[in-house]
Amino acid sequence: MSICLFKSDLTNLASLIASPLGANLGEKVNPSVLQIIMGILIFATAVKSWLEVL
């Protein structure tokens, strides 16, 4: 099994760019809004996983 270095480097670069943006946004947005967004993302992931299983 080999790892595609281009994809892993691209993921690392995106995380380096997005993490400061997310930290700044997290300071400005109400925590309850962040909880709702996180809940929606978790729910969407669960639905996608169940659809793949079925």
pLDDT of residue 54: 84
The DSSP code for 3 is -
Calpha distance 28→21 (Å, rounded) = 11
What is the number of alpha carbons within 13 Å of residue 20 lying toward its C-beta? Answer: 3
Count of domains forming the chain: 1
Domain that holds residue 47: 5-53
* pLDDT attached to residue 1: 60
In the chain, what are the helix, strand and coil shares in percent, each to the nearest 5?
Answer: 85, 0, 15
pLDDT by 10-residue block (mean), the chain, 54 residues:
84 94 92 95 97 91
